[in-house]
Amino acid sequence: MDAVLEPAAAARTAWRVGTVVEARPETSTARRIVLEVPDWPGNDAGQHLDVRLTAPDGYQATRSYSIASAGASTRVELAVDELPDGEVSPFLVQDLAVGDQLELHGPLGGYFVWMPQSETHDERPVQLIAGGSGVVPLLAMVRSHRATVDPTAFRLLYAVRAPDDVFYSRELAELTAGPNPLRLDFVYSRRAPHDWPVPAGRITREALEAFVVPAAQRPRVYLCGSTGFVERIAGWLIELGHAPGDIRTERFGGS
Ligand SMILES: Cc1cc2nc3c(=O)[nH]c(=O)nc-3n(C[C@H](O)[C@H](O)[C@H](O)COP(=O)(O)OP(=O)(O)OC[C@H]3O[C@@H](n4cnc5c(N)ncnc54)[C@H](O)[C@@H]3O)c2cc1C
């Protein structure tokens, strides 16, 4: 007997088609891609989608990408970092062109999302922690926070290889000004700006403690990056007194 999907279930499993309307370098290894997806239902800040590529011989590869945009628009923004030996990301960063179409599935994920205080009635501060491209879903949260004029205190700790590798650098700088500004701290692992007070190096527990909202203030923590980064940081946060239930994580893969 053929399976019959209820409309809601069918929508959850459906693949949509998006057309690339903008593609530009974000850093020397990453690219910002904006898609027009006519039947996109909108998405919450922090959600992701799946991209499916199909080769001429029918071979398919699917990867997840966080959504940098949020809200009711049919424009969906991604930012993809190229892994040199990767199967999918080199195509998205180097070959995909404006006018091309992509198969998408989503929006996905209901856990790693941030909702404005008007919906949650939650006055606790928010601490965002990004490793590399892990900043993408956190940017969506910061954008939503600004768009809804939400009074929650927001702080972002961004661990990145070098100043040139910062995603959305100009926009993040702008978000540190204005009403209820974002508090932004960087940790550089390979090369720091020339006048930076701390030498470049892997993030330490001491740096983490210095740059995050103290556990006593019970921040809601959103932590995103490679699997190794997320596990190391989450372990230190718990050692520093943050409750495991207050730490939401998204792992991008890799060590
Ligand atoms: C929920 C979710 C959201 C994501 N959002 C983004 C995003 O916004 N931007 C983005 O650039 N990527 C994001 N990723 C990662 C993305 O899905 C792919 O894993 C990444 O683009 C590599 O795919 P690939 O096919 O090029 O490499 P693959 O062929 O899958 O892998 C190549 C090699 O790189 C390793 N590897 C895979 N992923 C990573 C990683 N993240 N870091 C280090 N090494 C890795 C693999 O183990 C393998 O050795 C997200 C992943 C998840 C699960």
What is the per-residue pLDDT across 199-228, written as a single tens digit (0 to 9) for each?
899 999 999 999 999 999 999 999 999 999
- Would the pLDDT of 31 be above 80? yes
Cβ-based neighbour number of residue 125 at 10 Å: 17
- Would the pLDDT of 8 be above 80? no
| CA dist., res. 138 & res. 224, Å (int) | 8
Please list, in sequence order, all residues whose beta carbon lies within 8 angstroms of the beta carbon of residue 82, skipping any fewer than 6 positions away. Answer: 29, 30, 31, 89, 90, 92, 93, 94
Average pLDDT, integer, range 102-128: 94
The beta strands (E) that lie in the chain are given as 16-25, 30-36, 48-54, 60-66, 75-81, 101-108, 126-131, 154-160, 183-188, 220-225, 247-251
Amino acid symbol at 52:
R
- Over the range 137-150, which residues count as b (16 or more CB within 10 Å of their CB) and which as e? bbbbbbbbbbebeb
Task: State the fold for domain 117-251.
Answer: Rossmann fold (3.40.50)
| CA dist., res. 186 & res. 12, Å (int) | 37
Q: Residue 6 has which token pair?
A: 């209820």
- Does 29 contact ligand 1 (Cβ within 6 A)? no
- Would the pLDDT of 253 be above 80? yes
Average pLDDT, integer, range 173-189: 94
Average pLDDT, integer, range 58-75: 97
- Would the pLDDT of 25 be above 90? yes
- Over the range 226-250, which residues count as b (16 or more CB within 10 Å of their CB) and which as e? beebbebbbebbeeeebeeeebbbb
CATH 3.40.50.80: which residues of the chain? 117-251
For 1, 35, 114, the CA distances from 104, given in Å and listed in that order, are 28, 10, 22
CATH 2.40.30.10: which residues of the chain? 7-108
Whether the bond between 107 and the residue before it is cis, its omega within 30 degrees of 0, is yes
Higher-confidence residue of 76 and 7: namely 76
- Assign 149 a pLDDT band (cuts: 50, 70, 90): confident
Mean pLDDT of the chain, nearest integer: 94
- Does 136 contact ligand 1 (Cβ within 6 A)? yes
User: Cα angle at 226 between 111 and 105, to 5 degrees?
Assistant: 50
- Does 86 contact ligand 1 (Cβ within 6 A)? yes
| CA dist., res. 40 & res. 147, Å (int) | 20
- Would the pLDDT of 180 be above 90? no
> Using CA positions, which residue lies closest to atom 53 of ligand 1?
252
- Would the pLDDT of 119 be above 90? no
| pLDDT attached to residue 10 | 53
| pLDDT attached to residue 4 | 44
Distance of CA 223 to the CA centre of its chain: 9
> Using CA positions, which residue lies closest to atom 28 of ligand 1?
86
- CATH code: domain 7-108 is 2.40.30.10
- Does 63 contact ligand 1 (Cβ within 6 A)? yes
Higher-confidence residue of 148 and 157: namely 157
Phi-psi region of 149 (alpha: psi -120 to 50; beta: other; left: phi over 0): left
If we measure between CA atoms, which residue out of 10, 6, 9, 105 comes closest to residue 53? 105
Handedness of CA 42, 252, 185, 125 (dihedral sign): positive
What number does the ligand 1 atom closest to the CA of 88 have?
A: 25
